[in-house]
Structure 1
Amino acid sequence: MISDSESHSSLEPANPGLSARHEPAVPVLARWAAGLAWPALPPAVIGAAREHLIDAAGCAVAGIRRGAAEPALTVARGLGGPPEARLFTGERVGAVAAAFGNAVAVHALDFDDTHAGGLVHASAVNVPVALAVGEQTGARGSDVITAVVAGLEVTCRLGAAAPHGFHARGLHATSMCGVIGAAVTAGKLLGLDETRLAHAIGIAASGASGLLEFLHSPASTKQLHPGTAAANGILAARLAAAGATGPAGAVDGEYGLFRTMTGRAPDRDALLGALGLRWETTRIGIKPYPACQLTHASIDAAGEFTGSPPSALTVTLHPDAVPIVGGPEKRHPRSAYEAKFSVYWCVAAMVIDGWVDLDTFDNLDRPDVLSLASRITVVTGAADSVAADAPGIVAGDDRIARVERSSGGGARTKAAANLGPHAGALIDAVDRAGVDRAAVGDGIPGEAAVDHAAALLDAIEGCLR
């Protein structure tokens, strides 16, 4: 098996995070991202990026079919602009508008992938940016995937540099970190050098936003956050290209992102260590359930009680997970999205139905699920890991079910269900992205190779016809 540190070229990846320990984080990240090239990507990283692109497309198609992204798509269509890129539904709009609408579509059902260490939805932001700016610039498939990897790495490292730091202050880490990743993804495809890319990061960090107040209401703002992050990231890259500047300390300076928004300095090794050697892209998990990842291990454990519901259940959660999915007010969710952030609803549904899928959140007035949810007690467990890696522990009627961590799912099987009968065409298009036309000797017909972003969008649009 190829490790994620093995490259498919003879190039030795640089490690600017270790060689510049006292340099601000912004120029270090910019230097690494600007220099990242397709030949330096290990096969395992390319493979992971393909899986996340497939998963993001599948989540978007499912969200669009269920109408969950319609407000954002309506606004994106209204924004119009030069016909640079397409919404997944086919309309041509400006790249900023396309990335905004498509990013909301990816995240609309909360089924998109998550990086456990940073608790960020990295693909929801970066994949739509890469496709929109990639179509705008006529980028090859290899350039699109390279830009996606750069954005994923930056987004995940930012989240992991202060585990639960943003969430504890009522901020959504996906949009706080994702806007910077989006600027990197867009900047790569716009051809920014390391100086301009550093400015783009600084500008993007100044626009980081996203409140968690939706947790206390049935509001849909969380679904919008990847869209605003994607749009603002592209704007930051364009502003930098036009000559606007951003501060070098925007990430780790005195008034930078971390000290201002989390109240602490970032973990420098998590943020900058082993750049080009340790790949966070391979550590992003595919979601098996369309609900907050902090419920997944509990859902898995609750499966042990399917078919024989106990009189009462106790669910043990990581301390950081309790305020997000375990508050007592979440026993009777008021919206589908609120139910996705209710461990009571998710566990009760698994026990009664034996599964949790998109249909689980259609009818929130089910007396059987509500009755069992009212008999679930949440207790606080140990903080031995980040919250998303904590075990699922569910107890009832003198039985205890424990799952060390949710096993996740397979992107392609999941995507086949979400994408419908044209799933194979999309998966094939993603697999051919970046394949050189001279690759006939590898058994891949050169004329069928996808060498531009537009072909990927053609395949996604085809799934919605």
Structure 2
Amino acid sequence: MAEKSETLTAPALARWATGPLTVPADVQAAALRHLLDGLGNAVAAARSDAAAAAVTVATGLGGPAEATILGATTRLSAPAAALANGTLVHALDFDDTHAGGLVHATAVVLPAALAVGEQVGADGRAVLDAAVVGYEVACRVAAAAPNGFHAGGLHATMVAGVFSSAAVAARLMGLDAATTTQALGIAGSQAGGLLAFLATGASTKQLHPGFASQAGILAARLAAAGATGPDTVFDGPHGVYDALATGPVDTGVILRGLGETWETTRIGIKPWPTCQLAHATMAAATAALDAAGAGVDEVEALHAQVHPDSASVVCAEGRDLTRPVSPYAAKFSLPWSVAALLVDGHVGVDTYAPDNLGRPEITGLAARIGWDVRPDGGVAADAAGDVVLTLTGGRTVHGHVDRSPGGGSAPLSEEALLAKFTGNAGPGAAALAEALHALPDAPDLTLLLSRAAAAAEAPLEVPA
């Protein structure tokens, strides 16, 4: 059961989310980094049709010409656009992760901010402020139950995302705190997102941020129209944590330091398009091979120490981790992803192409990768990576990283972020980045959205 705060959480959160906001320079910079990364991921997904089903359905929903699907010029209702855009940001599993909540924040913040921002004609500053509110809500709601949603078989991104999107929409719509409280309460009844895809490779995980973004906007609209939701949605009884979280919960995390300490600055950016819970092991394996001065053909075996909460997701028993059944199954296989990185020296979007999954040099090495579950008092996404390589002749080499690259004490550099963004957005990357960096002073979203469409229309570069 959730540990209750003295003050009901939803009304207090709503007052902050709709009130005057002073965003420190480092927080603004972090938000712009994540919005840039999210735009790049969405454009890459649009260019490769990775979210074609969601885009097709959203387009079919139609509605008033309020908002644009990223990478297109078609305008439709804001909830429908958010459904498509949330799926686009997350489709390649290349989007950011907040370690404390194990939540993909930009995938639920960017769609609502752009869709409702375009709908109401907001200027760039208003959109950016709403995005910061969304980042704080998503990260804090998820971090109040670290691994608690995943442990019960739910995707924290969708559970926390409905509240984030509702707060973003409410702020941009100009709702007052009382109405926003109702929106948060309504959003809670739309929280969910099953992890059943892990065993099948189904594409439902891609859809979860789209569902959350759409649901949050609908919750804000319903509240504005007079519908009501429980102001105890976070605190219970029968609130979101009582109903959906497993293990310890501290709802005080949601309000503690709100507006003074910023979770927006603690979100990590992925260097590889695969489950973040495998990244520490991937980095440690690379470090070990580099330290050994050996080639991958000399690796006889690799043994990793894995956080318990990571093992349940990327080393799950009952799945063939060496010969994954789908690209998504490969993204959630630690042995396969580690092997692919060591064999090819890099992991990119093309690594998980269907015709790549059965490559014998990768599956053969994956079969020689084992692990032990290592007790760890911290959260899985912030855990260290440790591996031991056994080389031909019996020599062993240890590889260690303090945490996975991209966040915390190992943030992705500006150079690496720009390289990732350029690879995702293609020839239109520079113009799109320029528009995004100008967002704080932009009169509206017209330039940003038009440049996203232009970037998505550029042809994919086919490797020679």
- TM-score, reference length from structure 2: 0.91
1:402 aligns with 400
Query: Is the Cα–Cα contact under 8 Å of residues 218 and 337 in structure 1 kept in the other structure?
Result: yes
Query: Is the Cα–Cα contact under 8 Å of residues 145 and 434 in structure 1 kept in the other structure?
Result: yes
The alignment partner of 1:461 has SS state of: helix
Q: Decide whether aligned partners of structure 1 residues 36 and 318 sit closer, same or farther in structure 2, where only a CA change above 3 A counts.
A: farther
Query: Is the Cα–Cα contact under 8 Å of residues 36 and 146 in structure 1 kept in the other structure?
Result: no
Distance 1:431 1:271 in 2: 29
Does residue 392 of the first structure (1) align with residue 390 of the second (2)?
A: no
Q: 2:326 aligns with which of 335, 341, 344?
A: 335
Q: 2:238 aligns with which of 255, 260, 271?
A: 255
The alignment partner of 2:299 has SS state of: coil
1:30 aligns with 14
1:123 aligns with 106
Q: 1:305 aligns with which of 268, 279, 289?
A: 289
Does residue 454 of the first structure (1) align with residue 446 of the second (2)?
A: yes
Shift, 1:427, TM fit: 1.2
Distance 2:440 2:385 in 1: 39
Q: 1:353 aligns with which of 303, 324, 344?
A: 344
2:148 aligns with 165
Does residue 375 of the first structure (1) align with residue 368 of the second (2)?
A: yes
Query: Which structure 2 residues correspond to residues 1-20 of structure 1 after superposition, within 5 A?
Result: none
The alignment partner of 1:23 has SS state of: coil
Cα offsets for 1:105-126 (capped at 9, x unmatched): 0000000011011000010011
Shift, 1:265, TM fit: 6.3
Deviates more, 1:132-141 or 1:403-412: 403-412
> Sequence identity, in percent?
49
Cα offsets for 1:434-464 (capped at 9, x unmatched): 22xxxxxxxxxxxxxx221232211211211
2:439 aligns with 433
Query: Is the Cα–Cα contact under 8 Å of residues 36 and 150 in structure 1 kept in the other structure?
Result: no
1:323 aligns with 312
Shift, 1:293, TM fit: 0.5
Cα offsets for 1:9-61 (capped at 9, x unmatched): xxxxxxxxxxx951111101101111143xx1101111111111110000011
Does residue 148 of the first structure (1) align with residue 131 of the second (2)?
A: yes
Query: Which structure 2 residues correspond to residues 52-201 of structure 1 after superposition, within 5 A?
Result: 52-88=34-70, 89-201=72-184
1:464 aligns with 456
**Over aligned residues, Cα RMSD in angstroms?**
1.3
Distance 2:130 2:15 in 1: 14
1:447 aligns with none
Shift, 1:264, TM fit: 5.4
Shift, 1:305, TM fit: 2.0
Q: How many residue pairs end up in the alignment? A: 430
Distance 1:266 1:322 in 2: 22
Query: Is the Cα–Cα contact under 8 Å of residues 258 and 264 in structure 1 kept in the other structure?
Result: no
Q: Decide whether aligned partners of structure 1 residues 264 and 301 sit closer, same or farther in structure 2, where only a CA change above 3 A counts.
A: closer
Query: Is the Cα–Cα contact under 8 Å of residues 5 and 235 in structure 2 kept in the other structure?
Result: no
The alignment partner of 1:146 has SS state of: helix
Distance 2:301 2:316 in 1: 17
Query: Is the Cα–Cα contact under 8 Å of residues 44 and 456 in structure 2 kept in the other structure?
Result: no
1:51 aligns with 33
Distance 2:79 2:115 in 1: 8
Does residue 234 of the first structure (1) align with residue 232 of the second (2)?
A: no
The alignment partner of 1:118 has SS state of: coil
Distance 2:399 2:5 in 1: 45
Query: Which structure 2 residues correspond to residues 284-295 of structure 1 after superposition, within 5 A?
Result: 284-295=267-278
Query: Is the Cα–Cα contact under 8 Å of residues 95 and 132 in structure 1 kept in the other structure?
Result: yes
Letter in 1 for 2:41: C
Query: Is the Cα–Cα contact under 8 Å of residues 41 and 89 in structure 2 kept in the other structure?
Result: yes
Cα offsets for 1:87-132 (capped at 9, x unmatched): 1122111111101001100000000011011000010011011101
Distance 1:102 1:263 in 2: 30
Give ranges in structure 1 of 5+ residues lacking alignment: 1-19, 436-449
Distance 1:209 1:253 in 2: 17
Query: Is the Cα–Cα contact under 8 Å of residues 101 and 145 in structure 2 kept in the other structure?
Result: yes
2:199 aligns with 216
The alignment partner of 1:312 has SS state of: strand
The alignment partner of 1:33 has SS state of: helix
Shift, 1:384, TM fit: 2.7
Letter in 2 for 1:244: A
2:409 aligns with none
Distance 2:153 2:147 in 1: 10
Q: Decide whether aligned partners of structure 1 residues 255 and 265 sit closer, same or farther in structure 2, where only a CA change above 3 A counts.
A: farther
